[in-house]
């Protein structure tokens, strides 16, 4: 009996899964050299042409599937792959070499493809270097079709599978079938890889970037993916499996019981309404937001537009996405956050010593102004729907918001002079996620229409704890009194300046935090769609005056642990029946 | 034959999507289309060829169009290289 082993990785998609390992291996197809008799050379060329044709059909099918299930923005890389496949220089050169060298098609094709991959691999530019992945992705498909070898595909995963892989190529990631695949564990990859994006879209728990571990797993082994704690457990003990089974059953029961709650209005027992909205990352997730009863989108992250294209999307491409989303969510609002690139979200050829303190988010946009203006123009154009608000991330100084507004107004003027319509009263807000912004909030509140507190980064920056660093992760706690004081001050400053204040970090969906935030006077809470029903139920058990008492007292503690102990004790006492929800 | 040096102004250089737009457009013309960078010449109707040139923003390439519709081809393709499409 193999020993239980716990592995840590990047929690790329939330939720818990228990299943059997399905090992997906990209085995490079073995190609042998065979001489071909002159009389058969024509047949060899025909065989090659047929393989190209078959591959083209496969890629087209995948592209259609992606467009249908995830959105057209994601299928675009396949256009480039199809074009690589149909590249006339390659096809001609393979055909010619079959005739002159009198060798088999797969050998020649592999040679030709490898030459191109090698040239690209030598490029100093990271972007071009990484395109080798696409060449091999296409090349492998052709070789398998030539050899009649079936393509090992994630499509073959039986029910209750947890896909275990070193890496899943982009064209393959999008084929993951959520009916059979319950979880994903991968040696490589991060939060922004195609696999991560797909997993979140399909609501499949996923832990990526685990490091080498495939040699410890075999097909059919029991395996647990815990997207909540960021761990993968291989060969779990029966005790562990039972624990997770129980937990999963409970989750499912609660989820089932909670679904009707989606339709309830988000208000306290004494009738104060708190807008509960959804944080989403791409268009397909809007469906989940609606299903779980979100009152609009409180945070629409736009980084994927950059990442999916591996470069800046045009104004038109962005406009299409923003416009479609605004239309879908109408009459509720959509808050679009401008690019929060940098930090952990890559520019793959750029590295710096302290990415979280470095060139990221608004700092990038204020330097790359054309890039920034293009996004603002696209957002403004979509604002004709009258339900869009715009939000700028990581403001840390007063000058920054002044500069942002200058650029924003320039773009407005440009549009006006070109007689392009937009919502002139569009609300402009900032994310308060640095201690400096929180402390400056009395001044900042006069410059904007709303604040949205980003509790994750605010915690990270206030406590000076890199939230990705495992060794110090115990220091990262959004119930830390310092963080709570800053949140309270920001809300108060916002209200004194007559603007509304929301919160869109992890704290928003934490049932224990909701009474506290309501007590502080929060106006909006934005969270991952699946957290919404529970948050509504918690909210509906509360009364404002009791929450205010709790909030006031919570600020008297010295440690995060004291705060949490106090909250769980007093919240249970004041709001009987809330226990089940808080667990 | 038209032959001229052009600076790549497309924001991300000639990466996969502009490169595929370039090829799609080049294929519409009868003329032969070629790109030269640092002495390496590739077929402008081949995405693999173009990608291996690794044209970053600011890079200089020579665009060569040769054939009956060379003028139209040159003008249209130049716009993609300059990021104006």
| Residue range A96-109, pLDDT digits in tens | 999 999 999 999 99
- Assign A162 to helix, strand or coil: strand
| Cis-peptide, bond into residue A331, ω within 30° of zero | yes
Nearest to A87 among B13, B15, B47 (CB): B47
**Cross-strand partners of A16:** A226
Structure confidence by residue, pLDDT tens digits, A189-243: 877 677 887 888 788 999 999 999 999 999 999 999 999 888 999 999 999 999 9
Structure confidence by residue, pLDDT tens digits, A463-474: 999 876 768 878
Return the HEC string of A416-458: HHCCCCCCCCCEEEEEECCHHHHHCHHHHCCCCCEEEECHHHH
**CA–CA separation, A212 and A187 (whole Å):** 6
Q: How far does the CA of residue A57 sit from the closest CA of chain B (Å)? A: 19
Cβ atoms within 10 A of the Cβ of B38, count? 9
Q: How far does the CA of residue B85 sit from the closest CA of chain A (Å)? A: 10
Q: Does B80 touch chain A (CB under 8 A)?
A: no
Q: Does B61 touch chain A (CB under 8 A)?
A: no
Q: Name the more confident of A344 and A416.
A: A416
Q: Does A77 touch chain B (CB under 8 A)?
A: yes
Question: In whole angstroms, how far apart are CA A556 and each of A455, A480, A485, A542, A560?
Answer: 20, 11, 10, 21, 11
Structure confidence by residue, pLDDT tens digits, A254-267: 778 888 888 899 99
**A194 belongs to the catalytic site:** yes
Average pLDDT score over residue span A125-148: 86
Q: How far does the CA of residue A131 sit from the closest CA of chain B (Å)? A: 8
Q: Given the DSSP bridges, would you call strands A388-392 and A427-432 parallel, antiparallel or unpaired?
A: parallel
Q: pLDDT at position A250, please?
A: 82
pLDDT tier, A325 (very low <50, low <70, confident <90, very high otherwise) = very high
Check pLDDT > 60 for residue A348: no
Residue of A nearest to B11 (CA): A312
Provide the percentage of residues in chain A whose pLDDT is more than 70.
95
Average pLDDT score over residue span A245-272: 87
Provide the percentage of residues in chain A whose pLDDT is more than 90.
64
Strand order in the sheet with B60-66: B2-7, B60-66, B32-37, B40-43
Q: Does B23 touch chain A (CB under 8 A)?
A: yes
Task: Please state whether the predicted TM-score (pTM) of the whole model is above 0.90.
Answer: no
pLDDT tier, A396 (very low <50, low <70, confident <90, very high otherwise) = very high
Contact B12 A127 (CB under 8 A): yes
**Buried/exposed code over A107-130 (b: 16+ C-beta within 10 A; e: otherwise):** bbbbbbbeebbebbeebebebbbb
Average pLDDT score over residue span A360-369: 93
Least confident of A21-25, A29-33, A520-524, A573-577: A573-577
Q: How far does the CA of residue B77 sit from the closest CA of chain A (Å)? A: 17
For B10, left (φ over 0), alpha (ψ -120 to 50), or beta? beta
Q: Are A546 and A514 in contact (CB under 8 A)?
A: no
Q: Does B83 touch chain A (CB under 8 A)?
A: no
- Binning chain A into helix, strand and coil, the percentages to the nearest 5 are 55, 15, 30
Residue of B nearest to A121 (CA): B52
Q: pLDDT at position A345, please?
A: 55
Contact A310 B15 (CB under 8 A): yes
**CA–CA separation, A510 and A520 (whole Å):** 15
Q: pLDDT at position A79, please?
A: 85
Average pLDDT score over residue span A84-90: 93
Q: pLDDT at position A101, please?
A: 96
Which residues, other chains included, contact A494 with Cβ-Cβ below 8 Å and sequence gap of 6+? A441, A445, A450, A451, A500, A501
Chain B residues touching residue A370 (CB < 8 angstroms): 11
**CA–CA separation, A383 and A390 (whole Å):** 9
Residue of B nearest to A311 (CA): B12
Contact A309 B24 (CB under 8 A): no
Chain B residues touching residue A311 (CB < 8 angstroms): 11-12, 15, 17
ipTM above 0.90, yes or no: no
Q: Are A247 and A227 in contact (CB under 8 A)?
A: no
Chain A residues touching residue B49 (CB < 8 angstroms): 87, 89
Q: How far does the CA of residue A116 sit from the closest CA of chain B (Å)? A: 7
Q: How far does the CA of residue B31 sit from the closest CA of chain A (Å)? A: 15
**Counting Cβ atoms within 10 Å, is residue A460 exposed (0-12), middle (13-18) or buried (19+)?**
buried
Chain A residues touching residue B33 (CB < 8 angstroms): none
Q: pLDDT at position A130, please?
A: 74
Nearest to B11 among A76, A89, A311 (CB): A311
pLDDT tier, A73 (very low <50, low <70, confident <90, very high otherwise) = low
Return the HEC string of A469-505: CHHHHHHCCCCCHHHHHHHHHHHHHHHHCCCEEEECC
Average pLDDT score over residue span A377-391: 97
Contact B43 A88 (CB under 8 A): yes
Q: pLDDT at position A308, please?
A: 65
**Cross-strand partners of A163:** A22, A184
Residue of A nearest to B19 (CA): A80
Check pLDDT > 70 for residue A71: no
DSSP code of A267? Answer: B
Contact A120 B46 (CB under 8 A): no
Q: pLDDT at position A516, please?
A: 97
Chain B residues touching residue A134 (CB < 8 angstroms): 16
Q: pLDDT at position A70, please?
A: 59
Q: Does A349 touch chain B (CB under 8 A)?
A: no
Question: Which residue has tokens 């797993």?
Answer: A217
Structure confidence by residue, pLDDT tens digits, A505-517: 889 999 999 999 9
Helix (H) or strand (E) holding A44: helix A41-69
Q: 10-residue block means of pLDDT along chain B (85 residues)?
A: 91 82 93 94 93 90 96 94 76
**Counting Cβ atoms within 10 Å, is residue A59 exposed (0-12), middle (13-18) or buried (19+)?**
buried
Q: pLDDT at position A487, please?
A: 98
Nearest to A84 among B24, B45, B48 (CB): B48
DSSP code of A161? Answer: E
Give the active site residue among A194, A235, A288, A480. A194
Q: pLDDT at position A565, please?
A: 95
Q: Given the DSSP bridges, would you call strands A206-208 and A10-13 parallel, antiparallel or unpaired?
A: antiparallel
Q: pLDDT at position A226, please?
A: 94
Q: pLDDT at position A580, please?
A: 72
Contact A88 B20 (CB under 8 A): no
Give the active site residue among B2, B6, B13, B15. B15
Q: pLDDT at position A29, please?
A: 81
Question: Which residue has tokens 């040139």?
Answer: B53
Q: pLDDT at position A257, please?
A: 81
Q: pLDDT at position A26, please?
A: 74
Q: pLDDT at position A329, please?
A: 96
Structure confidence by residue, pLDDT tens digits, A29-46: 888 999 999 999 999 999
Check pLDDT > 70 for residue A349: no
**CA–CA separation, A466 and A198 (whole Å):** 26
**Buried/exposed code over A384-413 (b: 16+ C-beta within 10 A; e: otherwise):** ebebbbbbbbbbbeeebbeebeeebeebbe
**CA–CA separation, A234 and A241 (whole Å):** 11
Q: How many CA atoms lie within 13 A of A67 on its CB side?
A: 12
Q: pLDDT at position A365, please?
A: 94
Structure confidence by residue, pLDDT tens digits, A549-563: 999 999 999 999 999
Residue of A nearest to B17 (CA): A80
pLDDT tier, A156 (very low <50, low <70, confident <90, very high otherwise) = confident
Chain B residues touching residue A127 (CB < 8 angstroms): 12-13, 15
Chain B residues touching residue A80 (CB < 8 angstroms): 16-17, 19-20, 47
Q: pLDDT at position A1, please?
A: 63
**CA–CA separation, A195 and A300 (whole Å):** 20
Average pLDDT score over residue span A76-92: 89
Q: Are A176 and A197 in contact (CB under 8 A)?
A: no
Q: Does A123 touch chain B (CB under 8 A)?
A: yes
- Assign B48 to helix, strand or coil: helix
């Amino acid at each position: 009996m193999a020993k239980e082993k716990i592995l840590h990785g990047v929690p790329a998609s939330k939720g818990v899964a228990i299943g059997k390992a399905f090992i997906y291996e990209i085995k490079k197809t073995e190609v042998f050299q065979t001489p071909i008799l002159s009389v058969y050379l024509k047949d060899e060329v025909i065989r090659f042409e047929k393989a190209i044709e078959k591959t083209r059909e496969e890629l087209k099918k995948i592209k259609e599937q992606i467009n249908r299930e995830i959105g057209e923005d994601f299928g675009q890389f396949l256009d480039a792959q199809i074009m690589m496949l149909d590249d006339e220089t390659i096809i001609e050169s393979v055909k010619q070499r079959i005739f002159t060298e009198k060798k088999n098609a797969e050998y020649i094709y592999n040679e030709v493809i490898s030459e191109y991959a090698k040239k690209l691999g030598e490029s100093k530019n990271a972007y071009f270097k990484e395109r080798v992945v696409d060449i091999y992705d296409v090349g492998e498909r052709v070789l398998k079709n030539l050899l009649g070898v079936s393509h090992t595909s994630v499509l073959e995963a039986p029910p209750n599978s947890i896909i275990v892989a070193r890496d899943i190529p982009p064209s393959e990631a999008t084929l993951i079938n959520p009916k059979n695949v319950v979880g994903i564990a991968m040696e490589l990859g991060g939060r922004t890889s195609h696999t991560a994006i797909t997993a979140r879209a399909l609501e499949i728990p996923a832990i990526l970037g685990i490091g080498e571990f495939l040699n410890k797993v075999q097909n059919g082994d029991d395996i647990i993916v815990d997207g909540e704690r960021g761990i993968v457990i291989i060969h779990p003990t029966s005790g562990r499996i039972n624990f997770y089974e129980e937990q999963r059953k409970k989750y499912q029961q609660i989820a089932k019981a909670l679904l009707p709650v989606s339709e309830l209005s988000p208000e306290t027992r004494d009738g104060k309404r708190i807008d509960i909205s959804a944080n989403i990352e791409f268009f397909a997730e809007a469906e989940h937001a609606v299903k779980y009863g979100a009152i609009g989108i409180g945070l629409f992250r736009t980084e994927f537009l950059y990442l999916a294209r591996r470069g800046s999307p045009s104004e038109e491409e962005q406009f299409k996405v923003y416009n479609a989303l605004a239309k879908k969510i109408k009459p509720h609002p959509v808050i679009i956050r401008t690019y929060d690139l940098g930090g952990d979200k890559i520019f793959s050829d750029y590295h710096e010593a302290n990415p979280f303190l470095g060139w990221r988010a608004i700092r990038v946009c204020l330097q790359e102004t054309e890039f920034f203006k293009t996004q603002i123009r696209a957002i403004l154009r979509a604002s004709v729907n009258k339900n869009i608000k715009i939000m700028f991330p990581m403001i840390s100084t007063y000058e920054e918001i002044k500069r942002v507004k200058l650029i924003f107004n320039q773009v407005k003027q440009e549009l006006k002079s070109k007689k392009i319509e937009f919502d002139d009263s569009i609300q402009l807000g900032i994310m308060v996620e640095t201690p400096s912004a929180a402390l400056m909030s009395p001044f900042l509140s006069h410059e904007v229409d709303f604040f949205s507190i980003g509790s994750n980064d605010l915690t990270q920056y206030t406590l000076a704890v890199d939230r990705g660093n495992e060794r110090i992760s115990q220091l990262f706690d959004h119930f830390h009194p310092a963080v709570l004081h800053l949140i309270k001050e920001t809300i108060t400053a916002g209200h004194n300046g007559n603007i509304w204040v929301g919160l869109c970090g992890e704290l928003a969906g934490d049932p224990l935090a909701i009474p506290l935030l309501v007590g502080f006077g929060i106006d909006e809470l934005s969270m991952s769609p699946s957290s919404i029903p529970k948050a509504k139920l918690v909210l509906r058990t509360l009364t404002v005056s009791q929450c205010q008492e709790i909030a006031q007292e919570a600020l008297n503690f010295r440690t995060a642990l004291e705060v949490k102990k106090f909250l769980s004790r007093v919240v249970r006492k004041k709001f009987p029946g809330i226990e089940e929800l808080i667990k | 034959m038209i032959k001229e040096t052009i600076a790549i102004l497309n924001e991300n250089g000639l990466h996969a999507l502009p490169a595929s737009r370039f090829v799609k457009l080049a294929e519409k013309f009868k003329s032969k289309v070629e790109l030269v960078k640092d002495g390496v010449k590739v077929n402008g109707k081949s995405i693999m060829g173009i990608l291996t040139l690794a044209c970053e923003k600011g890079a200089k390439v020579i665009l060569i169009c040769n054939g009956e519709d060379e003028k139209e081809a040159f003008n249209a393709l130049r716009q993609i290289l300059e990021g104006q499409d």
